[in-house]
Amino acid sequence: MKQPRDAAEVAALLEHWSLVDDEAGRRAAARRAAAVSAGGSGLVRDYEFHKKPNDWIHLDWLRPIRFVYRNLPFGLRMALKKRLAR
């Protein structure tokens, strides 16, 4: 059976990982500052998702219709799909 670590060892490990975390944070801040200064404008924009051709399917007013369609029996759903695909 593993012996639990003593409090001094745990405190030393926590201090070590705190220092490692602080160093990683400083490196990340430096990378971001370099990216912002290299961009010229000084602004880093968030990623923008582009609209896809079938995004209309996910409109809020279609939610009840999708719910009803998905809860139809399979045979009826396939018959409706065949009819609408013509």
Is residue 77 within 8 Å of residue 69, measured between CB atoms?
A: yes
User: Does 1 reside within a domain?
Assistant: no
User: Does 47 reside within a domain?
Assistant: no
31, 58: one domain = no
56, 37: one domain = no
What's the predicted TM-score (pTM) here? 0.41
Answer yes or no: is pLDDT of 48 > 80: no
64, 37: one domain = no
Is residue 35 within 8 Å of residue 44, measured between CB atoms?
A: yes
Q: Is 12 helix (H, G, I), strand (E, B) or coil?
A: helix
Record the tokens describing residue 12, joined without a space.
Answer: 């030393």
User: Does 18 reside within a domain?
Assistant: yes
Is residue 36 within 8 Å of residue 42, measured between CB atoms?
A: yes
CA dihedral 34, 38, 44, 48 (to 10 degrees): -120
Q: Confidence class of residue 2 from pLDDT cuts 50, 70 and 90?
A: confident
> What mean pLDDT is predicted for residues 8-24?
96
pLDDT value of residue 80: 93
